[in-house]
Structure 1
Amino acid sequence: MSHLATVSEVRLTRFKTFRDAVLPLEPLTVLIGRNSSGKSNALDGLDVLSRLAWGEDVRGALDGRHRDIGAVRGGLEGCPPHGSDIFELGCTVDTPWGAPAMLDVAVRVRPDVRIISEQLSGRMRDGQPMLLRSLAPESGGGSIVITKYADRPEPTYRVSSKGDRLFCSQMSSGFFSEVAREGDMIEAAEVLLDALRGVFHLDPVPHLMRQYVPARDAELRRSAENLSAAVGGIARRAPEEFAQLEAALRRIAEHPIEHLRTTRSDLDDVMLVVDEGQGGITPAREMSDGMLRFLAIATALITGRHGVDIYAGPSVKPSLTLVVEELENGLHPSQANLLLDLLHQAVARERTQVLVTTHSPALLSALSGDDHRGVIVCDRESGAGLSRLQRLPEIDGYAAAMAEGRLGDVVARGRLPLRPEERDYSDFDRLMGIG
């Protein structure tokens, strides 16, 4: 089965600092806002959904017990809002047949860990409405109602589940595969899960990239610790992509670079090397943090889904949602246009989307007017301290502010020039951290 689908919306119903908030995702989404506004919490919501889509038990997935990527930020216990034992999340996925599929889930973390509510809804490939929902958990397990046709009030089937993992991740096996074979609900569930499994949160850790690594470990990991092997793999299997990576590296370096290559140890492990010509070489162990971080990000952007270590689900061609926080870290502001070029090239690729956070005025100024639809502003309300998310063009005062200059200039200026006849920019100023 071959499907391509992408996440178009994340619902932060009750999660950390969010209540009934929505994070819309464009091909390129740029999340901005002050420190502690909730940007990382929003990304954590997407990360939690992605981990649950693996089909592992909730505690194992969120506390990182079964994988080498570690726990979600704050772990399972950090997901509910303060004072609550329950968190709720949801998402919408655009399917290849044009009808969105939606998943909503509520998880209780105390006194025991259990999915207390799960709903899969939307339309199947044949156009029929679908609805899978859970009833209140019963002793020793959870009851799941499968309603094949959402316009019928009565449930079609009823089965039992332990409630320790997403039921829709178990739909392709056992009893459910028999009762659902008349329709396309299993296909819709797999398409939705594949989109979530394709979320790749890249968090490069430069000091981990300075060691020899096995050459066969060629799919970039989330920490980018195997960067040398990943770059070596690109050089072998995709010469054109490797040439793009070399060209990008030359654009950020202040000294001439002839080649990017790897050197091998006696144990056949590899390390990345920059060849500067005339006998000058710089191995990964001597490269700056900024160069290593840039190479990791550029590698993921240039190679797409076939170059990174994402979950290998039933889909032959999983989509990729690449998430990178503080994209500009370690780079001079003059490199903003290069970063934006790489971002645009990545999202032009089939079924690839990118979600980044940034504090860089230079990068914000490099965004075009068309890019602004994907700029999401995160801030905290002064009263309850809840985080909220707003599309930049929908903020009051946006049009007048953009008439004064580029977005990065507006942020860097410190305040907007106001004239009596113009609209009040105070809300816009506050959200952008101005004044």
Structure 2
Amino acid sequence: MTDQPQSRAPRRATVQELRLAAFKSHRGTVLPLAPVTLLHGAGGTGKSNALDALVALCGLAGGAELEQALAGVRGGLAGCAPHGRQGFRLGCSVGTPQGTVRLEVAVRTDGRPRIAAERLALGRQLLLSTGEEARGRISAAWHSDGRQGDIHAPLSARSLLSAQLPLRVAGANPGERRVLAAVEHLLTALRELFAVDPVPALMRGWVPVSDDARLRGSAENLAAVIARIQGECRIRFGRLVQTLRAGSSQPVAGLGVLRDASGGGERVITAVDEGDGHWTSAELLGAGTLRRLAFATVLLTGPGVLQLTSAAEVPDAERLLTVLAEDLDQELCAGLLPLAQELVPRGHLRLLATARTPARLPGVLEVRCERDPASGGSLLVPAPAAVAPGAAPAAVG
């Protein structure tokens, strides 16, 4: 998919494709990514595993050693390897104003975890390749226009090599500056990721109030974030109330928090005004209402209100956040996918969601996830509208 010519280069670095060569239940599958992508299928088919691949790449892009970088993936580093394997392989394509950057990485999990191979390319030009690995070091070569050609040096095999290059490449000539630019685009696109999986049981408690509250992936501190938004941005808060009202079967006259300062420090809990001044706290709200509220908060607020490790050097105006939303039911799909489509043209948001059933909404790229009865591995089948003209839809893998 990434070899197809693009009609227009993206303004910001954008993850356009995931390649799961050998990752958890996936072997040789490819997941194309659009501004709004819905991965659907029955439970146990590998939808969450595909999301974990993007979480893994996000962690690797942070530059930490492998165990720490992959701690956010379900099952940690060891859980990334397919059953019976001693490692995993995955990659991605990132669209940039200069062209498509492709990353491929292989990790060994036997013994001390290490990078076994890594390759980075811009279009058809190879920017980084690796050779032998031993004693925690791996031989690497990166592109240079210098008189002696490409630069060869050993790098640490304990973390993603691409994340090490900004401190190793001098940028002394156009070739090296091309490497640095490609790496910057790659790392920025991968690090601007927020996975949200609201847990209603955790959202029903009182939490400390904070002027700088940032939403966690479980949304357990949603009340503190709502209190912050209510005080900082009335327009976004108003849209949040509208979204909650549109998807609720019960009356919603208002949204806010109840406050308690009896314990010495102020605490808050989410509450909904059901009319006539009757406020119902999160302790009594349904799970569907709380999940809708959490997902809508993520879509309407942006990186500044989310707890994520992003590229600090990127100004807020240049950020492009990829939101991972897991296990949407039909009602959530009907309400949140159109909201995401409305916000996407502003250029700051992309959404990858999972659900058990397709949404069949115009403009949403839908990919079916299923199990191969012969191998037991996961397959990804794009919807007919996502297939290139003249090509029949087929399982990728």
Distance, in Å, in 1 between the alignment partners of 2:229 and 2:149 is 51
Alignment of 1:386-401 (within 5 A): 386-393=377-384
Q: How has the CA–CA distance of structure 1 residues 274 and 140 changed in structure 2, closer, same or farther, with 3 Å as cutoff?
A: closer
In the alignment, which of 4, 9, 18 is matched to residue 10 of structure 1? 18
Alignment pair present for 1:355 and 2:352 = yes
Using the alignment, how far apart are the partners of 1:197 and 1:180 within structure 2? 27
Shift of 1:308: 2.0
Residue equivalent to 2:272: 274
8 Å contact from structure 1 (residues 5, 351) kept in 2: no
Helix, strand or coil at the partner of 1:88: strand
- Where 2:166 maps in the other structure, the secondary structure is coil
Which residue is 1:25 aligned to? 33
Is the 8 Å Cα contact of residues 304 and 346 (structure 1) preserved in structure 2?
no
Q: What secondary structure, in the 3-state scheme, does the structure 1 residue paired with 2:337 have?
A: helix
How far apart are 1:275 and its partner, in Å? Answer: 2.1
- 2:178 corresponding residue in structure 1: 184
In the alignment, the residues of structure 1 paired with residue 91 and residue 348 of structure 2 have an alpha-carbon distance, to the nearest angstrom, of 21
CA 247–209 in structure 1, closer or farther in 2 if over 3 Å, else same:
same
Separation in 2, partners of 1:391, 1:280? 47
* 2:314 aligned residue: 315
Deviates more, 1:53-62 or 1:212-221: 212-221
Measure, in 1, the Cα distance between the counterparts of 2:94 and 2:307: 21
Quick one: which of 149, 152, 162 aligns to 2:156? 162
Identify the residue that residue 107 of structure 1 maps to in structure 2. Answer: 107
Task: State the secondary structure of the residue aligned to 2:217.
Answer: coil
What's the secondary structure of 2:328's corresponding residue? coil
**Which residue of structure 2 aligns with residue 52 of structure 1?**
60
Deviation at 1:148, TM superposition (A): 3.0
- Residue 346 of structure 1, aligned match among 330, 343, 347: 343
Measure how far apart 1:320 and its partner are: 0.9
- Check whether the contact 2:37–2:353 (CA below 8 A) recurs between aligned residues: yes
Determine whether 1:382 maps to 2:338: no
How far off its partner does 1:23 sit? 0.5
1:351–1:257: structure 2 CA closer, same or farther, 3 Å change rule?
Answer: closer
SS at match of 1:311: coil
How far does residue 38 in structure 1 lie from its aligned partner after superposition? 1.5
Q: Shift in Å at residue 178 of structure 1?
A: 5.5
Deviation, 1:155, is 5.5
Does structure 2 retain, via aligned residues, the 8 Å contact 1:217–1:226? no
Residue identity opposite 1:176 in structure 2? V
In the alignment, what sits opposite 1:229?
Answer: 224
Deviation at 1:217, TM superposition (A): 4.4
Q: 1:394 to 1:264 in 2, by over 3 A?
A: closer
Q: Distance in 1 between matches of 2:373 and 2:338?
A: 37
TM-score (norm 1): 0.79
Distance 1:111 1:226, change over 3 A: same
1:38-117 to structure 2, matched below 5 A, reads 38-63=46-71, 71-97=72-98, 99-117=99-117
In the TM superposition, 1:288-299 aligns within 5 A as 288-299=286-297
Alignment match, 1:423:
none
Deviations 1:27-48 (A, max 9, x none): 1111112222221111111111
- Work out the CA distance in 1 between the residues paired with 2:84 and 2:332: 44
Deviation for aligned residue 1:94: 0.8
Q: Which residue of 1 aligns with 2:127?
A: 131
1:145 is aligned, of 141, 148, 165, to: 141
CA contact (8 A) 1:212 1:265 kept: no
Partner of 1:135, secondary structure, is strand
The 3 A distance-change label for structure 1 pair 255 and 171 is: same
Between 1:265-274 and 1:192-201, the stretch displaced more is: 265-274
Please say if 1:219 is aligned against 2:214.
yes
Identity of aligned residues (%): 36
Task: Return the offset for 1:117.
Answer: 0.8
What's the TM-score, normalizing by structure 2? 0.86
CA distance in 2, matches of 1:238, 1:382: 51
Question: Given residue 17 of structure 2, which amino acid in structure 1 is its aligned partner?
Answer: E
Do the aligned partners of 1:230 and 1:307 also contact (CA within 8 Å) in 2? yes
Per-residue deviation, 1:21: 1.2
Question: Shift in Å at residue 253 of structure 1?
Answer: 2.7
| One-letter amino acid of the structure 2 residue matched with residue 142 of structure 1 | I
Computed over aligned residues only, the root mean square deviation of the Cα atoms, in angstroms, reads: 2.6
Give the AA of the match of 1:277: G
Deviation at residue 252 of structure 1 after TM alignment: 2.5
Give the number of the structure whose alpha-carbon radius of gyration is greater. Answer: 1
Contact conserved, 2:366 with 2:386, CA < 8 A, in 1?
no
Q: Is the 8 A contact 2:171 2:177 kept in 1?
A: no
Q: CA deviation at 1:51?
A: 0.9
The 5-angstrom pairing of residues 356-375 of structure 1 reads: 356-360=353-357, 364-365=359-360, 367-368=361-362, 370-371=363-364, 374-375=365-366
What amino acid sits opposite 2:79 in the alignment? Answer: G
Distance change >3 Å, CA 335–CA 10, structure 1 → 2: closer
Q: Residue 139 and residue 22 in structure 1: after superposition, are their counterparts in 2 closer, same or farther (change >3 A)?
A: same
Question: 2-side partners of 1:206 and 1:166: how far apart?
Answer: 35
2:34 partner SS: coil
1:395 Cα deviation (Å)?
9.7
Question: Stretches of 4+ moved more than 6 A in 1?
Answer: none
Q: Which amino acid aligns with 2:183?
A: A
The answer (yes or no) to whether the contact 2:143–2:179 under 8 Å persists in 1 is no
